[in-house]
A and B are shown apart, each in its own frame.
Chain A
Amino acid sequence: MRPPSPSIPEKEFLFAALKQSLRLDGRSSLELRPPILSFGPELGWVECALGKTRVVAHVEAKMVKPPPERPFEGMITIHSEISPMASSEYEVGRPSEEEITITRMLDKVLRRSDAVDKESLCVLAGQRVWHLRLTLHFLADAGNMLDCACLAGIVALKHFRRPDVEVIGDEVTIHPASERAPIPLSLHHTPFCLTFAFFPGSETAPVLDPSQLEQRLSVGLMSVALNAQKELCVVQKLGGVPLSMDEVLRIIDVAVVKAKELDQLVEEQLKQDWLGRNVELI
Chain B
Amino acid sequence: MSIVLPGQHVDAQHVNLKLGPGLLQHTVNDGSTSSSILATRAGTLNHSKNRSKWWVENNSRRYIPAAQESVIGVIVQKAGEGFRVDIGSAQPASLDGLAFEGATKRNKPNLRIGNLVYARVSLAHKDMEPELECFDAQTHKAEGFGELKGGFMLRCSLAMSRQLLDSQHFLLPLLGARFPLEAAVGVNGRVWVKAQEVRETIAIVRCIEAVDPDGGGMDEAGVVDFLRTLGL
- Residues of chain A touching chain B, judged by Cβ–Cβ distance below 8 Å, are 3-13, 16-17, 20, 22-26, 52
- Residues of chain B touching chain A, judged by Cβ–Cβ distance below 8 Å, are 74, 76, 86, 112, 114-116, 148-153, 192, 198-199, 201-202, 205-206, 215, 230
Known contacts A9-B192, A10-B152, A52-B215, then 16 further A-B pairs from the complex at CB < 8 Å, ordered by chain A residue: A4-B76, A5-B114, A6-B114, A7-B74, A7-B116, A8-B114, A8-B116, A12-B150, A13-B152, A13-B198, A13-B201, A17-B198, A17-B202, A20-B199, A26-B202, A26-B230
**What are 22 A-B contacts with C-beta separation under 8 Å?**
A3-B86, A4-B114, A7-B74, A7-B115, A7-B116, A8-B112, A8-B116, A9-B116, A9-B149, A10-B152, A12-B150, A13-B150, A16-B198, A20-B199, A22-B198, A22-B199, A22-B202, A23-B202, A24-B202, A26-B202, A26-B230, A52-B215
Is the CB–CB distance between B153 and A10 below 8 Å?
A: yes
Is the CB–CB distance between A8 and B115 below 8 Å?
A: yes
Is the CB–CB distance between B202 and A9 below 8 Å?
A: no
- Shortest beta-carbon distance from A140 to chain B in Å: 11
B150 surroundings in chain A (CB, below 8 A): 9, 12-13
Question: Complex Cα distance A52/B206, Å?
Answer: 14
Decide if the interface of chain A is mainly helix, strand, loop or mixed. Answer: loop
Question: Complex Cα distance A11/B230, Å?
Answer: 23
| Cβ-defined partner of A4 (8 Å) among B86, B149, B151, B202 | B86
- Shortest beta-carbon distance from B125 to chain A in Å: 20
A9 surroundings in chain B (CB, below 8 A): 116, 148-153, 192
Give the nearest-CB partner of A14 in chain B.
B152
- Shortest beta-carbon distance from A240 to chain B in Å: 21
A10 surroundings in chain B (CB, below 8 A): 152-153
Interface core residue of A3, A6, A13, A52 (most chain B CB under 10 Å): A13
Question: Complex Cα distance A194/B69, Å?
Answer: 43
5 tightest CB-CB pairs across the interface, nearest first?
A: A8-B114, A13-B152, A7-B74, A4-B76, A17-B198
Question: Complex Cα distance A52/B210, Å?
Answer: 13
Question: Complex Cα distance A20/B112, Å?
Answer: 27
Is the CB–CB distance between B198 and A4 below 8 Å?
A: no
Question: Complex Cα distance A16/B195, Å?
Answer: 13
Give the nearest-CB partner of B73 in chain A.
A7
Question: Complex Cα distance A13/B150, Å?
Answer: 8
Question: Complex Cα distance A66/B77, Å?
Answer: 55
A4 surroundings in chain B (CB, below 8 A): 74, 76, 86, 114
Question: Complex Cα distance A238/B202, Å?
Answer: 31
Question: Complex Cα distance A263/B202, Å?
Answer: 32
- Shortest beta-carbon distance from A6 to chain B in Å: 8
Give the nearest-CB partner of B197 in chain A.
A20
Give the nearest-CB partner of B75 in chain A.
A7
Interface core residue of A8, A9, A12, A13 (most chain B CB under 10 Å): A9
Is the CB–CB distance between A24 and B205 below 8 Å?
A: yes
Question: Complex Cα distance A204/B163, Å?
Answer: 36
A6 surroundings in chain B (CB, below 8 A): 114
B86 surroundings in chain A (CB, below 8 A): 3-4
Question: Complex Cα distance A10/B148, Å?
Answer: 11
Question: Complex Cα distance A10/B193, Å?
Answer: 11
Give the nearest-CB partner of B114 in chain A.
A8
- Shortest beta-carbon distance from B60 to chain A in Å: 13
A52 surroundings in chain B (CB, below 8 A): 215
B230 surroundings in chain A (CB, below 8 A): 26
Question: Complex Cα distance A230/B192, Å?
Answer: 44
B116 surroundings in chain A (CB, below 8 A): 7-9
B114 surroundings in chain A (CB, below 8 A): 4-8, 11
A8 surroundings in chain B (CB, below 8 A): 112, 114-116
B205 surroundings in chain A (CB, below 8 A): 24
B149 surroundings in chain A (CB, below 8 A): 9
Question: Complex Cα distance A23/B206, Å?
Answer: 11
Question: Complex Cα distance A52/B215, Å?
Answer: 9
Give the nearest-CB partner of A18 in chain B.
B198
Question: Complex Cα distance A26/B210, Å?
Answer: 12
Question: Complex Cα distance A117/B205, Å?
Answer: 47
With A5-B114, A9-B148, A9-B192 known as contacts, the answer to whether A25 contacts B153 (CB < 8 A) is: no
B153 surroundings in chain A (CB, below 8 A): 7, 9-10
